[in-house]
Each structure stands twice: as structure tokens, then as C-alpha cells.
Structure 1
Amino acid sequence: IRHESVLAATLQKYIKAKMEILQNLQTYADELSEIADRVSANKEEYIIHPINQYHLIKRFATQWTEVNQLLDRFNRTGKKTISIKNAAHLFPKEEDIKGSAEGILRIQETYNLNTSDIAKGNISGKKDLTTDECYHIGKAAFNGGLYDRCTQWMQFSLQRFEEGTQNFSKAHAEEYLKLCEMGLDEFADDAYNITDALDLRNRANLIFFRPIVATKAHISSDDKSYKFSDDKKFSKVCRGDVKIPKHVERKLHCYLHTNNGNPWLMFNPVKVEELWDSPHIVQFYDVITSAEVDKIKKLAKPSLFRAIHVVSDEEDDDFQKAAYRITKISWLNDTSGPVIAKLTRRISEITGLSMNTSEELQVANYGVGGEYPPHLDVASVSNTTLFKYHPEGRRIATFLIYLSEVQEGGGTAFVEAGVTAKPIKGSAVFWYNMYPSGDIDIRTFHGACPVMIGNKWASNKWIREAGEPFHRQCKLDRNA
């Protein structure tokens, strides 16, 4: 009788525990189903908004992860639960929420957006951030050394503290606010702060001169001093706040391009818009069809991986994820499919350059606030040297193709020229990274602006020096 009494009580406790888990699962199921039904009505419109992207990542890193843990506790192995359990290793983690918050901060910094507008969803459409999310974005700003933004986000989270539920205490937010204000005071008069120093270290692969003597303002090489613009000018160019001088604007034209009577282009000339005269930067239109774009994306998606860079030391090279480059990339060669071989031939026809020593086609998809800071395309990705041996030489030219429309942001900003190429699906931007003499043209310093609204796909075809001397001959003037 004593055993039966204990077992009956144990069974009741077991059932109660299971019912509590089921109730929690039901709550999650109702909430997540309601969101899924609302989102599925228009997936594209939903996913292009950075706040929605943040929410999606956070749902998987928190709510869906908790669902998976509840299923573990329920100790069931039915088909429906197995599919969720098997997918759990693909769920975003806490570091992804942090990365997404940093993406929103990049958008805010580059496009000079107001904190309250972002929190209230007034980027483009109504997509509110919770008080808790504002606090976590403030923490991300603090960890990134953006003390002014940290101050704004913490102040805003404290103002809204009584709204809804929070997973942080008022004391924690006030403590972060004090630290951020201290950080602002400490670095107010400095030329650049700790973040800038770390940023330069992370971007060391973007400057290829040896010996490297880096400051915020310039890079020195031997007896020359090359002055590069700071991040503020990059942001201004991305926002379109830099006006093209009238004397330059008068030189720019739109025309049909046949590459001196190329038979393939005589019947179908390419539309060209000159973006800048010197260096000559042009944007070709309708170089690739929507059907070809879809095929390229389909080929690239299975092999997409997080962008990496090479960290070199005296002994060896080490590959690391690129914190400054928020993209996933894939490489496709002419044997990947007929559409790639056809595109390679078309690039050769348009540019007049040989593709024998060109690199494979790089396809990139940009994440939340995805950007690639200003850099030169001359060398392969390497942290230390431009002249690291490559059998086919340096990258003489860049052919950048846009594989998607981007509603806001995501352009290619040429910092020294002060001009931005707009990401228009099917178009391509082309420029030479070097003078015909082989000298580096530092005026081609450029970067990919953060994506504000949209899903950005782009691809690069880099053409190397070997095999091009007769296609692009030297001039009498070394700097021609």
C-alpha cells in the first residue's frame, strides 16, 4: 500500500510536469504559428527589412532553441519532434544575435539614422524593436566602442523601461550608460579611438603597401605618402552627400558600347553609363538576364560559406572568418555550368580582355547590414603584402555584377571619387585597379555600403595581369 501511494503520487507529478511542458509548447506553437502565417503571406517583403531579419535570428536563437529543449525534456522521439531536433544545429546562436545587432548599428552609423526612429521601426515600414532588444543593441554598441550610439540606445531603453517585460535590470542599463558616457569623454579629443585601432588591424588586408605604416589618415610606402579618406567620407559617399563637381559631370556620358566593333556586340550593343572620368569607372546595363541570375544563385547556394581572410605571419598563413566582411561567398568556374562559361565569354567581349588568367566567379550574399569596408582589389586577400607571389600576377581589373535589386543602400562607393554605383539587377560596374604601366591606381579605393533594405547578391570577376599586355598596352605617360 505504501509503494502504491508513492507511485500514484509520482505518476501525478510526472503527468503534471508533462502537462506544464505541453502548455509551454502550446504557448510557443500559438505564438510562432501566428508569426509564420503572417510572414508567409509575403516572404520577400518581410525578409528585406533589417529589423525583421534581427527578429528572425533572435526567434531561432531563443524561442526555437527553447522549444527544442522542451522536446528533449518531454522525452519523445516521434517524427514531428525529430525534424525539429535534427534542425537544431542549424539554429542561430547568441553570437548571431550580437552580429545582427551590430548590423543594425552599421546601418545607423553609415546612413546617420536616429535611434528612436530605428527602435520604432521608421526605417521603412513599421517594425518595432522591444525595450529588451534596444538594450542589447546598446550593449553591442558598447562592445564595439561606439560610445555615442551606446549612450543613445541605453537612454532609449531606460525611457521605455516600463513598457512590456524586460530581461535586464534598470541598474544594468544605468551602469552601461555611465560606462558609455565615460567612453565618450575619454575619446572625445582623440584622432581615433580603440575601435578604430582594432578596425585598422582587422582591415590590414585592405592596404597592400610594404612596409606598412598605418594611421587613421594615411598609409606610407617608402618615400610616397598615400592619403586615404576616413570612414566618415565612406559613409558620406554611401549616403550620396558628396556632389560630383560640374567640370567632371560635363565629361560623363551614356552611350552604346560595341568594343570597337566586336561581332557579338554589333547586333546587341551594351548600354554604358560613365560614373567617373579618371579613373574611368563605368556601369554596364543588362549584361545578364534574370533567368541567368537565377541559375547562378542556384549553383552558388549549396556552397556558400562565411567570407574568410588570410592572416599571415613569418612562418605560415592562417584562414579566419572576416569580422569586417559581412557576407557569405561561393566560387564558380566555367565547368560549374554553361551559364558561367557563357558569362565569362561575355565579360571578355565587353572588356576586350583575355579571360585565360581570370579568377573564378565569386558570388556573394550580404547579411544584416552587410558591407565590405573600403579597400583596393589589386591583390588576393592577404593581410600583409601586395607582392606575395601569384603566378598570374595582380588583379588588373574588376568586373562587379549585381544579381539583385536593393531597395535602400548596398551600393559600391568609390571613396576618393565620391561616387556610388547603385545595385541594379543585371548591371555591372567595371574599372581598372592599375595604370597600364603596372602602377597601382589608389584612386579606385572603394567599399560595399551596408544594405539598409533588401537582400543583396553580387558577383565579382577579377582579371589578372598575365596575358593582358597586348590587350591593354602601356602609354607614353606612366600615369595615363
Structure 2
Amino acid sequence: MYLKLLCVLSVLLISSIKVQAEWFSSMEQIIDLVRHESLLAPTLQNYIKAKMEILLKLKTYGDELSEIADKVSANKEEYIIHPINQYHLIKRFATQWTEVNQLLDRFNRTGKKTDFIKNATRLFPKEEDIKGSAEGILRIQDTYNLNTSDIAEGNISGEKGHNSLKKLTTDECYHIGKAAFNGGLYDPCTHWMQFSLQRFEEGKQNFSKAHAEEYLQLCKMVSICLHRIQAVKYRLLNLKDCYIHIQHTKITVVPEQCFPQNKVIEKLHHYYSTPTELLVLCIGETRAIHIGATIKLHCYLHTNNGNPWLMFNPVKVEELWDSPHIVQFYDVITSAEVDKIKKLAKPRLFRAIHFEDKEDSEVFQKAAYRITKVSWLNDTSGPVIAKLTRRISEITGLSMNTTEELQVANYGVGGEYPPHLDVASRMYDHPDGERIATFLIYLSEVEEGGGTAFVRAGVAAKPIKGSAVFWYNMYPSGDIDIRTFHGACPVIIGNKWASNKWIRELGESFHRQCKLDRN
């Protein structure tokens, strides 16, 4: 604004010079100069002041962001595996770096350095990314029963010393509490709002104390009502119409009308509906031996009945469970091969989607319950993929003629995949048939969390880089084996990469024949 005014005054002054000229020859013209100067001088000062304010803000951001960047650069790998650091990183780009770009625009500067930042803003995270990362923190807390105050202090697992670079601010605690409320996690919502109120300082927060108290009261009351009908983490079908009315700071809850005993309750198809069996396995990620069962599990070397490729380099096998038979192969892929697969997959990653039938139309939508990005690689994508396909055939003894492409997945903040069966029959270029077996390869170590839990079998596989978990999800008869119901536990600490090779029933007639006994 000041620059425009300065330009206008300069034009007027120049016009005056052209019209009048020879200022020295008239006292009235000299008086005009005084008048011009009385306008120009404060305008210039105001312009300089405005620029200095912008520069001061840029310097503040620059100092803060440079300090953080230096700390991060000292140990990038250790930094990025922590979910609170991931949350802060996303938030910095969605807020601070976006503000820096806006300040640069106001400063009217051009050049390679500022243009680089301006162009980069198109790729910056947005508000929805902050929300998604907050939900990731809630997933970790809910699954692993973590303390709110510990998370706020950046301490996800104190005994291993995994601390965040920065603690969560009071504002951030409040907004995580709001995310808990919106997701139906009323107990965590209560804890986060209580914590934000404990640390509240008037004038230093971006939310009012009344708002936090409002959410706290609401979450407490809804939680009590839900517990009364034994429906924790469930919602009524008419949630918004029934029991929540927020008008300014007034809350009205009508339990008698909203929670009759025969009211139909809908379980959320979302990450907040994690079954108890999965929670138990994710917390321990160890075998849950069934009461009264005597099971002998073995570790052995596998040559697949004398396969020439495995005779001199047998595969190490650990039995995870006997029925259904679930095994974990070790050292099936080298670190160099893993790096090549990641390099091929990274530029092709997209948000995981799922298929839905809607009014006789086939629709693919983002899978809100699956916090991961995936890519698909076939044998022509690179020699390493073709080599891995051959190796899977050698290890399993199955044909690869009717397999799906190799799916490579990278999990996000608190990334998980709720329990499911690998029986999808509609993929991009495989519209028919059903899967018969799953070969799940871990492409990275995960320090904490991220295991694969078989909730019906009561066993969890630990993600170990280079290993692969293998199971049949169907009986030899072709019937679905619901005992292979499984899910991916949320990642606490680490960067989880995994890949899946689904081997279809079609084409396996001579490799896995149907038997008289369905088992």
C-alpha cells in the first residue's frame, strides 16, 4: 500500500516538475516543494517501517526454522521416525512456511531464492494433513494405551528414549482433543481437553478457555452415556440430530431420549473401531497361546522339496502358527534389492483406495481406514521385480502366471490397516477370481509397532527387514479360511515399508490340488 502511494506521489511530483520547472524562480513553487516533502517523508518512513516489520517476521521465522533444520540435519533418520516430529514437520510446512511465502509476496521481492519457495508451496501440506497427522497420534495412543501427558511431552516410549525434538504446545493439545471428538474418541478427548486447560494461559492461546471447557463437558457427558449402554467407541446413527446441541457455550444432552436401550447402534467403519483382539496383539506382538492348546512350533531350513535354487541356499523358516499354517521366511531379499524396489515405487505412490459398488456403478475411493500410500510394480518395471517374482515361486512352489502385480506400501503417521481378509476379487487388471495365498514382505525395520496381527489365530508377526510372512487364506477346497483375518498394527516409531504378492487360485491346479479333506 505504501509503495503504491509513494509511486503516485512521485508521479505527481515529476508531473509538477515538467509543468513548472525552474523551481528556484518562484517562492510559491518552493512552498510546493515543502508540501511535497511533508507528504513524501512520512510515506517513505511508513514504507520502510512496513518493510522492516515484514523483515522482522521473516527473520524470526528464519531463525526458528534454521535452528530446527540444524537439529534435524544432525540426525534425520532418528528425527523422522518419531510421530510427534512428523506432526510438527507437517504443521511447519502447512503454517510457518506458507506464512513465509505470503510475507515474501508482500515484500515484492523476486529472484531465484524466493521463487524457489513460492513454487514449492504448491507441494506444501495443507490443513487436512495437520488433521490427518493428529489422527495418527490418536491412533497410536488408542491402540497402545499411551498417557496423554507423556505424548504431549514428546515421550512416546520412555524406556527406549524416543523423545520428540519439540513438545506439543497447548494449542496443539487442544486441536488433537478436537480431532478425538470428531473421531468419536470421547475418553481421549476428555484427557486432551483437561490437559490443554491445565496449561492454559489467557492471551497466549489460539482458543478460548470457554471452548475447551465446552468440549470437555461434552466429551465427559457423551462418554458417560456411551458407557451406560456398553457402546464405547460407537455412535448413534443420528448422532448430530439427537444428543449434541452446541450454542455458544451452552450444551444440552438428553440421555433418556438419545440412549434408549433398544436404540440401533452403528459401529464406525474407521480406525477408531479397532477390535480388542487386535489391540492385545499389537501391544504385545507376541503369540497368544490358546488356553488348553499344546502346540509345537518349529524353526527349520526350507528347500521346497529339493528345489535346485534352494539346495545350496535354503530359506530360514519360523512357524508362527500351525492352523492356519502361518510362517515367516527370513532373508528372502537383500538390502540392495530393497533399495531398488523403494526407488521404483516412490514416484508411483498414491493414497490407498478401495472398491465400492454404488448404484450399479464401479467406484474407487480413498480408503479412509487405511493410512498408507501404495504403488503397483510388475515384472517389466525392473529386473529386481522379475527376480523377486521368481524367488517367491521357488520358495512357495506356486505358479506366478496368475499373480497380481507386486503391491508396495509405505505407511504414514500412525499408519495402520484394520483387520480384513485377502479375498478381494476386483483389482485393476484382474476382474475375476479370488486370491489363494499372501506373500507379505517387510522392506524396512520398524522399531515399535507396525506388526501384522492375525486376530483369529492369536498371533502377530514382527516386521523384520528382508523377511516375509506367508499364509493361505483359503482351504484346499477353495473355501475362505476366516482364521486368516488379519490387520496391520499402527506404527509407533519407524518408517514402515512392505510389499504384497497375492497368488491367485486360478493356475494352481497342478501345484496345490484340491483334496477330499477340506482342511
Q: Judge same fold: TM > 0.5, yes or no.
A: yes
Aligned CA distance change for structure 1 residues 245 and 186 (closer, same or farther; 3 Å): closer
Show the counterpart of 2:13: none
1:263: how far off?
0.7
Q: 1:180 aligned to 212, 219, 229, which one?
A: 219
Show the counterpart of 1:145: 184
Show the counterpart of 1:211: none
2:155 counterpart SS class = coil
1:93-242, aligned counterparts within 5 Å?
A: 93-124=126-157, 125-127=162-164, 128-162=167-201, 165-192=204-231, 195=234, 231-240=275-284
**Matched residues in 2 for 1:230 and 1:54: separation?**
22
Partner amino acid, structure 1, of 2:102: Q
Aligned CA distance change for structure 1 residues 287 and 411 (closer, same or farther; 3 Å): same
CA offsets per residue over residues 216-271 of structure 1, 9 Å max, x none? 69xxxxxxxxxxx9612111111127631376563210000111111111111000
1:14-163, aligned counterparts within 5 Å?
A: 14-124=47-157, 125-127=162-164, 128-162=167-201
Partner amino acid, structure 2, of 1:444: T
Q: Work out which of the two has the higher radius of gyration on C-alpha atoms and give 1 or 2.
A: 2
1:422: how far off?
0.2
Partner amino acid, structure 1, of 2:356: V
Show the counterpart of 2:441: 401
1:192: how far off?
3.5
**Matched residues in 2 for 1:133 and 1:324: separation?**
23
1:270-285, aligned counterparts within 5 Å?
A: 270-285=315-330
Contact 1:392 1:464 (8 Å CA) reproduced: no
**Matched residues in 1 for 2:411 and 2:274: separation?**
23
1:123 counterpart SS class = strand
Show the counterpart of 2:485: 445
CA offsets per residue over residues 58-95 of structure 1, 9 Å max, x none? 11111111111111111112110000000101111111
Q: 1:358 aligned to 403, 412, 419, which one?
A: 403
Among all aligned residue pairs of Structure 1 and Structure 2, give the percentage whose two residues are the same amino acid: 81
After superposition, the CA RMSD in angstroms is: 2.2
**Matched residues in 2 for 1:177 and 1:183: separation?**
10
Aligned CA distance change for structure 1 residues 17 and 78 (closer, same or farther; 3 Å): same
Note if 1:471 corresponds to 2:514: no
**Matched residues in 1 for 2:363 and 2:469: separation?**
31
Show the counterpart of 1:335: 380
Aligned CA distance change for structure 1 residues 164 and 46 (closer, same or farther; 3 Å): farther
**Matched residues in 2 for 1:313 and 1:411: separation?**
33
1:319: how far off?
2.0
Aligned CA distance change for structure 1 residues 412 and 349 (closer, same or farther; 3 Å): same
1:194: how far off?
7.2
Aligned CA distance change for structure 1 residues 215 and 196 (closer, same or farther; 3 Å): closer
2:95 counterpart SS class = helix
Partner amino acid, structure 1, of 2:62: A
Contact 2:299 2:319 (8 Å CA) reproduced: yes
**Matched residues in 2 for 1:396 and 1:413: separation?**
19
2:156 counterpart SS class = coil
Aligned CA distance change for structure 1 residues 325 and 381 (closer, same or farther; 3 Å): farther
Note if 1:454 corresponds to 2:494: yes
Contact 2:140 2:490 (8 Å CA) reproduced: yes
**Matched residues in 2 for 1:262 and 1:397: separation?**
20
Aligned CA distance change for structure 1 residues 247 and 348 (closer, same or farther; 3 Å): farther
Show the counterpart of 1:323: 368
1:185: how far off?
2.0
Aligned CA distance change for structure 1 residues 391 and 154 (closer, same or farther; 3 Å): closer
Aligned CA distance change for structure 1 residues 418 and 292 (closer, same or farther; 3 Å): same
**Matched residues in 2 for 1:284 and 1:378: separation?**
22
1:399 counterpart SS class = strand
Show the counterpart of 1:307: 352
Partner amino acid, structure 2, of 1:458: A
Contact 2:81 2:494 (8 Å CA) reproduced: yes
1:473 counterpart SS class = coil
Partner amino acid, structure 1, of 2:135: E
Aligned CA distance change for structure 1 residues 242 and 463 (closer, same or farther; 3 Å): closer
1:196: how far off?
6.0
2:219 counterpart SS class = helix
Contact 2:425 2:433 (8 Å CA) reproduced: no
Q: 1:297 aligned to 334, 342, 360, which one?
A: 342
Show the counterpart of 2:245: none
Aligned CA distance change for structure 1 residues 343 and 16 (closer, same or farther; 3 Å): same
**Matched residues in 1 for 2:281 and 2:57: separation?**
50
Partner amino acid, structure 2, of 1:102: E
Contact 1:392 1:466 (8 Å CA) reproduced: no
Taking structure 1 as the reference length, what is the TM-score of the superposition?
Answer: 0.89
Partner amino acid, structure 2, of 1:126: N
Partner amino acid, structure 2, of 1:151: T
Show the counterpart of 1:8: 41
Contact 1:309 1:381 (8 Å CA) reproduced: no
Contact 2:226 2:234 (8 Å CA) reproduced: no
Greater CA deviation, 133-142 or 388-397?
388-397
Q: Greater relative contact order (Cα 8 A, min sep 6): structure 1 or 2? A: 1
1:282: how far off?
0.4
1:30: how far off?
0.3
**Matched residues in 2 for 1:136 and 1:428: separation?**
39
Contact 2:177 2:193 (8 Å CA) reproduced: yes
1:302 counterpart SS class = helix
**Matched residues in 2 for 1:190 and 1:304: separation?**
43
Q: 1:252 aligned to 297, 300, 306, which one?
A: 297
Aligned CA distance change for structure 1 residues 180 and 391 (closer, same or farther; 3 Å): closer
Partner amino acid, structure 1, of 2:479: D
Contact 2:144 2:279 (8 Å CA) reproduced: yes
**Matched residues in 2 for 1:433 and 1:358: separation?**
15
Contact 1:248 1:277 (8 Å CA) reproduced: no
Partner amino acid, structure 1, of 2:119: N
Aligned CA distance change for structure 1 residues 442 and 313 (closer, same or farther; 3 Å): same
Q: Which runs of 5+ in 1 are unaligned?
A: 199-213, 218-228, 383-387
Contact 2:282 2:449 (8 Å CA) reproduced: yes
1:381: how far off?
6.2
Aligned CA distance change for structure 1 residues 4 and 32 (closer, same or farther; 3 Å): same
1:104: how far off?
0.6
